[in-house]
A and B are shown apart, each in its own frame.
Chain A
Amino acid sequence: MMTPIEQIDIKIEPFEQNTGNILPTLHQIQHALSALLKSDQTTSIDINAMPFAPGEKQTLKDTLSTGEVTATLNALGKSHIYETQYAGVWWIEHYNSHEHSVGQFIEVTWIPELLKSQAEDVQAGLERLLATL
């Protein structure tokens, strides 16, 4: 049996030179927060679309840190969603049912869409409830 990759104990050594992509990302977040306050405009940043040196993603995560809200979604595998120390800035990580990461995003929004109940699911739930009454 092969060892699954996530069970291999990989230690990422701090890298001498980073890509310099953390600072522009923080600036992007700052502009997105202003836009959210000023015009209700939400922003989503696909973390995996950006080149980061080993360990840099973690540095970004550490810089944003954690805030007041943490939620776990259970749909097609888990999704971890939490608000960072900056209210309105959410870190979202989607996993598949094998616990492999399938996407990482920063969302600048009042509340991530995925946390809201979806009208279609509410409708289906209502029908189910009606059937039991």
Chain B
Amino acid sequence: MSTRKPSSSPAPGSVGEYLRAQGISRRGFLKFCTATASMMALSPAFVPRLVEALEKAPRPSVIWLSFQECTGCTESLTRSHAPTVEGLIFDAISLDYHHTLQAASGEAAELAREEAMKENWGKYVLVVDGSIPLGNPGFSTIAGISNVDMLMDTAKGAAAIVSVGTCAAYGGLPQADPNPTGAVSVQDLIKDKPIINVPGCPPIPVVITGVLAHFLAFGLPELDELNRPKVFYGQNIHDRCYRRPFYERGQFAETFDDEGAKKGWCLYKLGCKGPTTYNACATTKWNQGASFPIESGHGCLGCSEPRFWDGGSFYKALSVPTGDLGQTAGYALAAGGAVGIAAGLLARQKKAQAVKDHETVTVNDLHKGEHS
């Protein structure tokens, strides 16, 4: 019979210590890690590694800035059923500034942001939702500070930036043709920091918490060419869609109430953008895993892809964006000049260094560790 010893105490100030201080039993912690691994789209085989990592991971300071947005992204997250397993991840971070959620306002709130920045310089995570208007700085301000100034100022000391929602990641709805405010995305403005895009309109709540959990436990996740974490955005909706057999057989619903629609046939002809959309909806699903748009009989809108608002009608079979990209590209260019950031070699080097400092862990690396 093997003997079992208690593991050593979690590191002071770590996520593990925080959870233990909340009176969560080891069993509860294991359950938390199992659900979190599933949320992070990791195989259950990684649970022991996650347990170990969270015992040691320091609670990061998080500053959350909301710009031109509808609060849907914050809603999506706060509705992810706190205070529960998923809510605990949110609790486990030290959310030092979030002007929608915090009680403080005006100067007191800005002071909290400045203090959190000073105390955690170079280490805090900056989360942004909403796009940044460049047409006129007065279009969107917080405590009299324009969005662009606040972003550039707060980004300076950040270890990494998480752009939550399609607006922060790519410009989203505010940037849709004719882009009246001159909206740009975070990555249009910041070129020298690691940026993780978590697009979606809104993003799936567990994907937001999953990304935070990944950052907590293993550092920066591996990203695709659009800076999205591959664990969540590595797969195509179409490839994981349960209606795929109908697509293969050429059985399509032609209207929303025909026989094909009733039989659950493929929604391609009704405008489904599943084949060009990368997101976790087909497996993670929405509303506690109840369903996702295609399961409810509506095609995918492609909301995690850049410029999905300008892709023609949502109800037209797949089409490409038709809007005038010239004006938005101009804003992005002007932004670069105005704030003195060129997408040059220096910025890229700084970014590479920052990425190195926050070692990226891929699923393959985890596999290696698993067998070592």
Contacts and interface: CB of A to CB of B under 8 A. Distances in A.
A104 B295 CA distance: 19
Interface string A81-102: 0000000000000101110111
B350 interface: no
Given A48-B283, A101-B289, A119-B26, A16 B44 contact: no
Interface residues of A, number: 44
B364 interface: no
A108 to B, nearest CB: 11
Contacts of A100: 81, 84, 288
B263 interface: yes
Nearest to B37: A46
B344 interface: no
B264 A118 contact: no
Contacts of B285: 48
A69 interface: no
B43 interface: yes
Given A94-B31, A101-B288, A103-B34, A120 B85 contact: no
Interface string A1-38: 00001100010000111111000000000000000000
A98 B84 contact: yes
Contacts of A122: 6
B26 A76 contact: no
B150 interface: no
Nearest to A98: B81
Contacts of A97: 83-84
B242 interface: yes
A114 interface: yes
Interface string B282-296: 111101111000010
Interface residues of B, number: 44
- Looking at chain B's contact residues, the main secondary structure is helix
Contacts of B17: none
A105 interface: yes
Interface string A47-66: 01111111010000000000
B325 interface: no
Interface string B261-298: 00110000000000000000011110111100001000
B13 interface: no
Given A48-B289, A51-B240, 18 more contacts: A6-B288, A19-B245, A46-B44, A50-B283, A54-B295, A76-B24, A76-B85, A77-B85, A94-B85, A97-B83, A98-B81, A102-B38, A102-B39, A105-B44, A114-B27, A120-B6, A120-B7, A121-B25
B283 A49 contact: yes
A73 interface: yes
B28 interface: yes
A121 B289 CA distance: 31
Nearest to A10: B290
A101 B86 CA distance: 11
B32 A96 contact: no
Contacts of A105: 34, 38, 44
Given A20-B245, A51-B240, A96 B283 contact: no
B30 interface: yes
B283 A5 contact: no
Contact of A17 (B6, B26, B88, B246): B246
Contact of A15 (B85, B264, B283): B264
A113 interface: yes
Contacts of B34: 94, 103, 105, 114
A75 B264 contact: no
B238 to A, nearest CB: 11
Interface hub of A46, A54, A120 (most chain B Cβ within 10 A): A120
A46 B43 contact: yes
The 4 closest A-B pairs by CB, nearest first: A96-B84, A44-B44, A118-B26, A75-B28
Contact of B41 (A49, A54, A94, A114): A49
B338 interface: no
B4 interface: yes
B31 A119 contact: no
Contact of A76 (B5, B31, B47, B283): B31
Interface string B11-48: 00000000000001111101110110011010111010
A89 B368 CA distance: 27
Interface in B127-182: none
A114 B28 CA distance: 9
